Structure 1
């Protein structure tokens, strides 16, 4: 019996040594890629707000202004797919001091402007047709997917360069990547809260030639974490 136990113990020890995991030298680094582009389109969120004492009348006034806005968009040859109604509300508001109910109607339209040369004309037209609130304007790139791809490649190059910098003093070389993690956050362009001039204000500057749009640049960023095998 003792011989059997000793024999089994020797076999277990032999198998255990044979199954030891070989340590592979590796390095973990992060990389970042940034692409700066000039936006070529904008998304405008515009609202018509109407208040009054009779719900039916308030809704009709609001609908009439929205109808005029939609006709403007068609006149400017914007594609039907580039504008849509985002929100529609008709709410009673009770004044406890006056003991009176009034009504507030709002409709919000989201408009994509693919030609920024039309931006000023569109904004002026929206105000003329009854838009009394520009909620925000977001400048974007129509080639977002292409720029994101470029940013990812730059992030990988950055990670590899960092790894090579670290191990160069050790006389080692960077070989294959064994794991790659994408740490990129979703791209959310920041809105620009628009301030627009009324027609009365424009009349004070007749003949003036002013640029009203400064789109600047947007930055598209990619982040990765990479584990490389070392030689």
Structure 2
């Protein structure tokens, strides 16, 4: 499976104040106060960069329903062991596999003859996330875990992201500052004033990290009647 999806990362530097002074000297303290707000130009800038996702996050697990808790737990453990082994065989490191949820709850059914709900079994659910660093291998990884876990396998979701967005955030900040300065310069020029140093800088927005991809869910084992 070839994956060629794009992520968009945006960051905004909002409420940038550049002092409007005759000589362009720095004015005011680093924290703006109300009395100074009329001496500056308030502008906002936006920086946006795009990147190809470099990791896939697969959320998966096993679901088992049986007549007893012990049997359900045993089968779920065996299925999860097979799934995690398949992940390892496909190159997913142990540190990139994290337990997300483990639950056990009873399965009830309405008994018409007794006019009440009766216990028919138990369901065990064990969910994990796996970080796939070779994005192009995602399809084969999914095939492997579905085969390993059989009918007990549940694929809950797949997303793509950037593992370390630090450099992208830096690029976006630079673009946002440039955008804000250009706007402030234009406003100052139109107003017949010169710009000084920034008095107040506020950052908002941030990295948009995930592209969700819908995946059909394999069936799970059915409870005993």
TM-score by length of 2: 0.72
Mean alpha-carbon deviation: is it higher for 30-39 or for 186-195? Answer: 186-195
- Conserved? CA contact 2:108–2:119, under 8 Å: yes
- Conserved? CA contact 1:134–1:193, under 8 Å: no
Selected match of 1:112 from 127, 131, 134:
131
Tell me: CA distance 1:104–1:44, structure 2 relative to 1, closer, same or farther (3 Å).
Answer: same
Shift of 1:60: 0.7
Q: In the alignment, which residue of structure 2 is the partner of 1:164?
A: 185
Q: In the alignment, which residue of structure 2 is the partner of 1:122?
A: 141
Shift of 1:185: 4.6
Selected match of 2:122 from 103, 110, 115:
103
User: Larger relative CO (CA 8 A, sep 6+): 1 or 2?
Assistant: 2
* Deviations 1:126-159 (CA, angstroms, capped at 9, x unpaired): 1111253211111011341110111111111111
Instruction: Give the Cα–Cα distance (whole angstroms) in 1 for the partners of residues 200 and 88 of structure 2.
Output: 51
Matches for 1:1-231 after TM superposition, within 5 Å: 25-97=39-111, 99-130=118-149, 132-185=153-206, 187-195=208-216
Instruction: Give the Cα–Cα distance (whole angstroms) in 1 for the partners of residues 76 and 64 of structure 2.
Output: 6
Mean alpha-carbon deviation: is it higher for 133-142 or for 37-46? Answer: 133-142
* Deviations 1:197-226 (CA, angstroms, capped at 9, x unpaired): 89xxxxxxxxxxxxxxxxxxxxxxxxxxxx
Name the Cα RMSD after superposition: 2.3
Comparing both structures, which one devotes a greater share of its residues to strand?
2
Bigger Rg, structure 1 or 2: 1
Tell me: CA distance 1:24–1:103, structure 2 relative to 1, closer, same or farther (3 Å).
Answer: closer
- Conserved? CA contact 2:56–2:158, under 8 Å: yes
Instruction: Give the Cα–Cα distance (whole angstroms) in 2 for the partners of residues 61 and 25 of structure 1.
Output: 71
* Partner-residue secondary structure (3-state), 2:205: coil
TM-score by length of 1: 0.70
Instruction: Give the Cα–Cα distance (whole angstroms) in 2 for the partners of residues 163 and 115 of structure 1.
Output: 44
- Conserved? CA contact 1:83–1:109, under 8 Å: yes
Structure 2: stretches of 5+ with no match in the other structure = 1-34, 112-116, 220-225
